[in-house]
Amino acid sequence: MKKLLIVRAHPFSAERSRSMQMADAFLAGFREAHPDDLVEDINLYSQSVPEIDIDLLSGWEKIREGEEFIHLGSLQQAKLTLFDNYTMQFQSSDLIVVANPLWNLSVPTRLKAWVDTVCRSGVTFRYNSEGRAEGLAGGRKVIHLQASGGHFGGKDPASEWLRTVFTFIGCDFEQYVAEGMDHEPERADEIMKKALAEVRQLGRDC
């Protein structure tokens, strides 16, 4: 049995977000073809995502120095636990779908914070005796779904960054973008109709 994790990174629902429409289309196709597989569907804007801050950094430092978790401050304990939960959720998944808009040539900040929970030295990657990085998250596939108003051919900085991170930790990475809806507003409906049909088929084929 396969486990799918959908990570949504937009505060709006599919009624107002094209990237969330893409996530819905993928999920519909996946469930049609894999009705018995497990699905976890999260939106990073409806739950807390810890940023790497002084609480996390100092908490990790204390643990490395031998401090017991129970002796950390309550805020440190809460943030470290939440951070670890996201890591374990990713590790327990076989297929991960990340859906986001392209905002100012970058990903939403919540998505950046989430990526930090899954790109972890000693957990999803390590440095070998020669100092070379080795991905430890092999066997997982990440599918990136992104909507953008301009035309970038999937080579925008956000897409390239996500590809770099997930291949760095050893994942198989695939991307589908819906582009140009603001650049060609008269074709926006046509572009999205085609994109949603193809993403739904992508979900079936996984």
Domain topology for 3-205? Rossmann fold (3.40.50)
Please give the average per-residue pLDDT across 1-30, as a whole number. Answer: 97
Q: What is the pLDDT of residue 163?
A: 98
Segment 177-200 shows an average pLDDT of 96
pLDDT bin (cut points 50, 70, 90) of residue 129 is confident
- Give the pLDDT score at 1: 85
Can you tell me which residue has the tokens 């977000």? 17
Residue 201 pLDDT > 90, yes or no? Answer: yes
pTM of this prediction?
Answer: 0.95
37: confidence class by pLDDT, cuts 50, 70, 90: very high
Domain ranges of the chain: 3-205
